[in-house]
């Protein structure tokens, strides 16, 4: 709306017809996304459609623009939420970035905990929000004049430029209201069974609600001639106009803030799933497929949180700087989904394919136009970032894919390798003292290896001799080799020794005992030497590196 109003009052009367046009597009999109869900019940939205129906390059484009879009969704929603909260509580105006980062940390924590729980946590504010917004619309339309006016009468900079570009801009800006729709198609797997039906129903409901809200608010703006004022959002002005500035005003503001947090949360539902799909396709590190105790893609969640933090700091949490970037990613995704479906229907030639293809074709043309307009009109004010990031991500995905392909070839994946044969084995145990820990390690080593050698490192020959005497006194039945290290480095003599032991055709293993304290905070006090040794051995030799825990009872 800001775009329209900034273009001058003469443009304001365009609000209502443009809103109706947007609502029309909304209908086309909701219907066609229902088709996306039907065709791709495994989720992935634009990426899945692109991969199946439009080939590798387009699917990479879709994936890249979706990643950008998800990150921007988080940033935009949080920045808008902070602005909204600052409308209600003006003292927060100078802490927008801090508010965004706190919100981001909370959402990240909730999502690391688990997606099912997070949906439950955020259900209540959604209900409050919907009641509040429809309350604002109904009360506002019933009232003869606004109940209260908030914000300073600080004039917003009015540009006199008008014409086709402004109208298209307003059209594209309004369209960004639609982008909530996309998230559902990308996150189908997180729905309950029957997944596809549930997701479609949610999609339709969301579309209907969004459309009604959009039209209602736009009629209200038109009737009350609302213009932007300093320090408050347009929606806050409408709320004050309907409910005055009592408790209902604050409740509505808080509900809107929470729902914007919910919008940020949709990305946390979507991006980790998309990243796991990309990593199954070898286009992202396999690490994004990993789930440990909880059914959560932790690495995806953390990556999203880090990227959103960087972005929020870069734009200093100013919503207006993010919106154009945001819309470009969204509309590229829309366009790809729609084009993919046109191709899909065309390929299938199922009954009524022409109607369906026409519907999706219209969607594709409309969204492609919006994307082009955004890139052209906002290039210097940030769109260049998207224009650079999307191809960079596509390149990254394809480089990763070619890496995994080369590794697969080298490992002879798919062909049967030779039968593995056993060899003689030697287990080397670095020891520092004679204790229960040494006994524990030698027990394991004797069980695993045909030959076992204990190795100790001492700064001087005198200490070596003393340790050997002690060892012979204990007489554990294991050979001891002592190494001198005048520079007091413990790791290098052992690595050198292991390298020499590897010369024969034996399987060499190094067994490193580790003291495991019961309490987490004592961890840093133990095993750092073993960890360093294991790391250096892994990096510079081909031996088997084994660790065995010795659990403490008292600490």
Q: Which of residues 485-514 bind a second copy (CB under 8 A)?
A: 487-492, 506-507, 509, 511, 514
In the window 6-35, what residues touch a second copy (CB under 8 A)? none
**256, 157 Cβ separation under 8 angstroms:** no
In the window 221-250, what residues touch a second copy (CB under 8 A)? none
Residue 544 DSSP SS3? strand
> What minimum distance in Å lies between the beta carbon of 418 and a second copy?
6
Query: Containing H/E element for 18?
Result: helix 15-39
Count of CB atoms situated within 10 Å of the CB of 375 = 18
> What minimum distance in Å lies between the beta carbon of 400 and a second copy?
6
Among 201, 244, 404, 451, binds a second copy (CB under 8 A): 404
**80, 260 Cβ separation under 8 angstroms:** yes
**359, 319 Cβ separation under 8 angstroms:** no
Among 239, 303, 438, 482, binds a second copy (CB under 8 A): 438
Q: How far apart are the first and last CA of the chain?
A: 63
Count of CB atoms situated within 10 Å of the CB of 134 = 14
Interacting stretch for a second copy, rule CB under 8 A, among 69-77, 290-298, 353-361, 379-387? 290-298
In the DSSP assignment, the letter for residue 202 is H
Q: Which residue is listed with tokens 């339309």?
A: 141
- Cα distances (angstroms) measured from residue 329 to each of 192, 278, 335, 473: 28, 18, 10, 73
Q: Which residues pair with 425 in a beta bridge?
A: 507
> What minimum distance in Å lies between the beta carbon of 127 and a second copy?
30
Among 362, 439, 459, 481, binds a second copy (CB under 8 A): 439
Q: Which is nearer to a second copy, 223 or 523 (CB)?
A: 523
Among 154, 193, 292, 462, binds a second copy (CB under 8 A): 292
If one asks whether residue 424 binds a second copy (CB under 8 A), the answer comes out as yes
Among 112, 128, 372, 437, binds a second copy (CB under 8 A): 437
Q: Which is nearer to a second copy, 54 or 296 (CB)?
A: 296
> What minimum distance in Å lies between the beta carbon of 341 and a second copy?
28
163-170: long-range contacts (C-beta < 8 A, 24 or more apart)? Answer: 165/373, 165/377, 166/3, 166/4, 166/7, 166/11, 167/11, 167/14, 167/18, 168/369, 168/373, 168/377, 169/3, 169/373, 169/377, 170/3, 170/4, 170/7, 170/11, 170/14, 170/15, 170/18
Cα 204 to Cα 45: distance, rounded to the nearest angstrom: 16
Among 420, 462, 500, 503, binds a second copy (CB under 8 A): 420
Among 21, 92, 206, 287, binds a second copy (CB under 8 A): 287
> What minimum distance in Å lies between the beta carbon of 493 and a second copy?
12
Residue 531 DSSP SS3? helix
Q: Is 502 exposed, middle or buried (0-12, 13-18, 19+ CB in 10 A)?
A: middle
Among 447, 462, 500, 503, binds a second copy (CB under 8 A): 447
In the window 88-147, what residues touch a second copy (CB under 8 A)? none
If one asks whether residue 302 binds a second copy (CB under 8 A), the answer comes out as no
Q: Mask 362-401, x = binds a second copy (CB under 8 A)?
A: --------------------------------------x-
Query: Containing H/E element for 507?
Result: strand 507-516
Q: Which is nearer to a second copy, 36 or 445 (CB)?
A: 445
In the window 455-484, what residues touch a second copy (CB under 8 A)? 473-478
In the window 246-285, what residues touch a second copy (CB under 8 A)? 285
> What minimum distance in Å lies between the beta carbon of 73 and a second copy?
25
Interacting stretch for a second copy, rule CB under 8 A, among 76-84, 235-243, 249-257, 289-297? 289-297
If one asks whether residue 529 binds a second copy (CB under 8 A), the answer comes out as yes
Quote the tokens at residue 521. 């905070």
Q: Which is nearer to a second copy, 2 or 287 (CB)?
A: 287
Residue 489 DSSP SS3? coil
Among 160, 421, 462, 503, binds a second copy (CB under 8 A): 421
Among 202, 377, 389, 547, binds a second copy (CB under 8 A): 547
Residue 426 DSSP SS3? strand
Q: What is the largest CA-CA distance in the chain?
A: 101
Q: Which is nearer to a second copy, 32 or 438 (CB)?
A: 438
Q: At what angle do helices 15-39 and 353-377 cross, to 10 degrees?
A: 120
């Amino acid at each position: 709306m800001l775009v329209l109003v900034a273009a001058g009052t003469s443009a304001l009367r365009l609000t209502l017809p443009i809103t109706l046009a947007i609502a029309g597009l909304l209908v086309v999109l909701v219907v066609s996304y229902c088709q996306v869900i039907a065709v791709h019940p495994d989720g992935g939205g634009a990426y899945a459609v692109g991969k199946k129906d439009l080939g590798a390059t387009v699917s990479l484009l879709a994936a890249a623009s979706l990643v950008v879009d998800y990150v921007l969704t988080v940033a935009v929603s949080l920045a808008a939420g902070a602005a909204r909260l600052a409308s209600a509580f003006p003292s927060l105006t100078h802490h927008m970035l801090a508010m965004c980062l706190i919100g981001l940390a909370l959402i990240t924590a909730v999502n690391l905990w688990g997606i099912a729980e997070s949906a439950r946590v955020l259900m209540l504010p959604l209900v409050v929000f919907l009641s509040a917004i429809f309350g604002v619309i109904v009360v506002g339309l019933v009232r003869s004049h606004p109940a209260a006016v908030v914000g300073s009468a600080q004039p917003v900079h009015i540009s006199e430029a008008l014409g086709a570009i402004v109208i298209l801009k307003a059209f594209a800006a309004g369209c960004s209201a639609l982008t909530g729709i996309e998230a559902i198609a990308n996150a189908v797997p997180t729905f309950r069974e029957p997944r596809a039906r549930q997701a479609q129903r949610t999609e339709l409901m969301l579309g209907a609600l969004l459309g009604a809200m959009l039209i209602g608010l736009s009629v209200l703006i038109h009737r009350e001639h609302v213009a932007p004022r300093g320090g408050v959002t347009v929606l806050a002005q409408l709320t004050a106009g309907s409910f005055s500035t009592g408790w209902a005003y604050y409740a509505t503001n808080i509900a809107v803030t929470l729902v914007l947090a919910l919008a940020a949360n949709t990305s946390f539902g979507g991006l980790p799933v998309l990243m796991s799909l990309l990593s199954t396709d070898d286009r992202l590190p396999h690490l994004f497929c990993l789930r440990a105790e909880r059914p959560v893609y932790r690495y995806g969640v953390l990556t999203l949180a880090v990227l959103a933090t960087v972005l929020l700091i870069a734009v200093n949490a100013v919503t207006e700087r993010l919106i154009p970037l945001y819309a470009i990613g969204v509309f590229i995704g829309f366009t790809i989904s729609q084009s993919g479906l046109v191709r899909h229907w065309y390929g299938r030639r199922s009954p009524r394919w022409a109607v369906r293809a026409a519907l999706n074709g219209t969607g594709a043309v409309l969204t492609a136009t919006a994307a082009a307009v955004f890139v052209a009109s906002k290039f210097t004010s940030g769109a260049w970032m998207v224009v650079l990031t999307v191809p960079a991500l596509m390149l990254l995905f394809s480089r990763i894919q070619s890496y995994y392909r080369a590794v697969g070839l080298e490992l002879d994946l798919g062909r049967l390798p030779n039968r593995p044969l056993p060899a003689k084995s030697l287990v080397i145990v670095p020891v520092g003292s004679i204790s229960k820990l040494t006994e524990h390690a030698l027990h394991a080593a004797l069980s695993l290896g045909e030959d076992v050698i204990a190795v100790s490192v001492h700064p001087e020959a005198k200490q070596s001799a003393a340790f050997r005497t002690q060892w012979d006194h204990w007489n554990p039945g294991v050979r001891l080799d002592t190494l001198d290290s005048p520079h007091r480095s413990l790791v290098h003599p052992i690595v050198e020794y292991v390298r020499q032991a590897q010369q024969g055709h034996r399987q060499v293993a190094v067994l490193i005992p580790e003291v495991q304290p019961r309490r987490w905070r004592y961890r840093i006090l133990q095993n750092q030497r073993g960890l360093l040794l294991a790391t250096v051995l892994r990096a510079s030799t081909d031996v088997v590196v084994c660790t065995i825990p010795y659990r403490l009872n008292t600490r």
